[in-house]
Structure 1
């Protein structure tokens, strides 16, 4: 089968990591896989090129020119499947894919799609998505929200949980104290100021608490200043963007996310694969998964006290921590492996649409 993935870029991010992993697995099963990026190659794109994948960057342009470029490229490639990732690539490539005669067109929404909706954007997406055979949400919350967007094609919306390769245990970082971990972009939507404040509150009962923040983004300087203001010097380490994240997950005691909005983050699934309990805010797919798996605790967005109490509860209750850890490993194996995601998408590529 000839498969083309369409993305905005292949810079480091959860959706982009998923696309790269899916490309590798599809090629390993004998399929011909390539990627078209609209904006730029990015770190992950460079890695795929080094591995022998064909990755094309069209370059940013007005929509009419972009549509023409996609029609030309897809007619040249003649793919069986065009898999668009997120709204912009769908708006740019779904119609050209239909014109080029692709047998199956899939659009995956990798975020929560939480209300209040941008009505104009969702109408435009749902009109173009009429060219798609399937619209995929990466958790039940995403699918449910998609069904309530204006002009939604409800009978074409299906859930495919994200999948990731399991983290290979690797101890590489000197570790002292009880360690919290966050891996991801340092962006406003991640609400990391809440995590810093919760860490400071938990420190009153856990004086040996540590927090590792792995990732980069525009918020770093602001967060470093807040960490200092909260008296967390020596407790918080900002590691920057890292490709070698296995040791962080292996050595962490709790995985924490305090996002305002979130789909189903890859980093949470990576943590679950090695049995790291989670404390997350009660939003989107991450709360859905943590609750259903009984793999940790949740707290309302911006409820610092409840977040801190959850951290302390897990830290001081070894039996509960071990139960959460075992539940996390079990849920990962049953629902969130890369092979399960691969099988779900391959079945979708050949399933007649409703």
Structure 2
């Protein structure tokens, strides 16, 4: 089967990691897989090219020219499947794919799609979605919200839980040095991740457990503000910023608790990676991450933007090793049952083969 994934770019991010891993597994299963990126190649794109997976960069342009470029590409490449990821690639590529005679065209929405909706975006997406075979939400919360967007094509909305390659535990020599019980966050340093809540929660918890540590792995526009907040809270001895890293295995292997304080979230790849190595999680009560943590009994969910509640959750797990072990076992079991890359890929293959 010839499959083309359409993305905005392949810069480092959860959806982009998912696309890269899905491409690798689909190629391993014998499919002809390639990617078209609208904006730029990105770190993950460079990796895929080095591995022999074709990645074409279309280049930013006005929408009419972009539509014609996609139509020309699909007529030339003649794929069996065009799989769009998120709204902008869908708006750009879905109708050209259908005009080019592509048999199976689908779109995955990787975010929560939380109300209040961006009405213009959702109306445009749902108009284009009438040309799709399937509209995929990555958790129940995403699917439910998609159902209520203006003009939703409800009968074509289906859920496919995200899946991810498991973290291979790092050798002891490759583990970062720990100085106490350690919390971990891996992801973009963006406003939507609301890391100030996690930092303020840590500051409250440190008053009772002084050697608590937080590792932050990732980069983004919020980094200067976060550095300033760490200094303001007097937390320089407790917080380490590691920057963007591809070698995240050591951090997942060495940490004790995985934390996310996001304002909105779909189903983060990093959370599933944490579950694969049995890290209990503390997350805010939003979207797919709370859905998964609660259903699996793999951690604690706290209210959005409530540092005191998150601090209490940190203190609960930090002081109860038996509870952490139980949550760890639940996390591993849930990952194996629901969130492997193989399970996700099989679900997508079924959709590729089945018409709406």
* TM band (smaller chain): over 0.9
Counterparts of residues 308-323 of structure 1 (less than 5 Å) = 308-323=311-326
Deviation at 1:205?
Answer: 1.4
Q: What is the Cα deviation at residue 121 of structure 1?
A: 1.0
What corresponds to 1:94 in structure 2? Answer: 94
Matched, 1:201 2:204: yes
Alignment of 1:139-288 (within 5 A): 139-170=139-170, 171=172, 172-288=175-291
**Unpaired runs of 5+ in structure 2?**
none
Question: Residue 78 of structure 1 aligns with which residue?
Answer: 78
Equivalent of residue 290 in structure 1, options 285, 293, 298? 293
- The answer on 1:302 being equivalent to 2:305 is yes
1:350 to 338, 350, 353: 353
Distance in 2 separating the partners of 1:54 and 1:303: 45
The alpha-carbon deviation at position 175 of structure 1 amounts to 1.1
- CA offset at residue 118 of structure 1? 1.2
Using the alignment, how far apart are the partners of 2:327 and 2:266 within structure 1?
A: 21
Q: How does 1:105-120 map to 2 (within 5 A)?
A: 105-120=105-120
SS of equivalent residue, structure 1 residue 36:
strand
Secondary structure class of the residue paired with 2:128: helix
Aligned mates of 1:303, 1:221 — CA distance in 2: 22
Q: Distance in 2 between matches of 1:52 and 1:169?
A: 27
Distance in 2 of aligned mates of 1:305 and 1:343: 41
Q: Distance in 2 between matches of 1:275 and 1:181?
A: 13
Give how far 1:54 is off. 1.1
Could you say what secondary structure the match of 1:61 adopts?
A: coil
CA distance in 1, matches of 2:46, 2:285: 36
Counterparts of 1:58 and 1:29, CA distance in 2: 27
| Counterpart check, 1:324 vs 2:341 | no
Q: How far apart are the structure 2 equivalents of 1:167 and 1:119?
A: 38
Distance 2:189 2:47 in 1: 23
Q: Which moved more, 1:126-135 or 1:170-179?
A: 170-179
Q: How many residues align?
A: 353
CA deviation vs aligned residue, 1:283-314 (integer Å, no higher than 9, x gap): 00000000000000011011111100001001
Q: Deviations over 1:310-350 (max 9, x none)?
A: 01001111111111000000000000000000100001101
Secondary structure (helix, strand or coil) at the match of 1:186 reads coil
- Inter-partner Cα distance in structure 2 for 1:142 and 1:206: 37
SS of the aligned residue for 1:213 comes to strand
Q: Partners of 2:224 and 2:70 in 1: how far apart?
A: 39
SS of the residue corresponding to residue 205 of structure 1 reads coil
What is the alpha-carbon distance in structure 2 between the residues aligned to residue 44 and residue 176 of structure 1?
32
Deviations 1:97-119 (A, max 9, x none): 00011110010000000000111
TM-score, structure 1 length as denominator? 0.99
More divergent stretch after superposition (148-157 vs 171-180): 171-180
User: What is the rounded CA distance, in whole Å, between the counterparts of 2:54 and 2:253 in structure 1?
Assistant: 34
Task: Give me the CA root mean square deviation.
Answer: 0.6
Task: Structure 1 unaligned segments of length 5 or more: list them.
Answer: none
Tell me, what secondary structure is at the counterpart of 1:91?
helix
- 3-state DSSP of counterpart to 1:269: helix
Instruction: Name the TM-score, length of structure 2 as normaliser.
Output: 0.99
SS of structure 2 residue aligned to 1:321: helix
Q: Hey, what does 2:41 align to over in structure 1? A: 41
Shift of 1:177: 0.3
Q: CA shift at 1:352, angstroms?
A: 2.0
Task: Specify the SS of the correspondent of 1:39.
Answer: strand
Moved over 6 A (4+): none
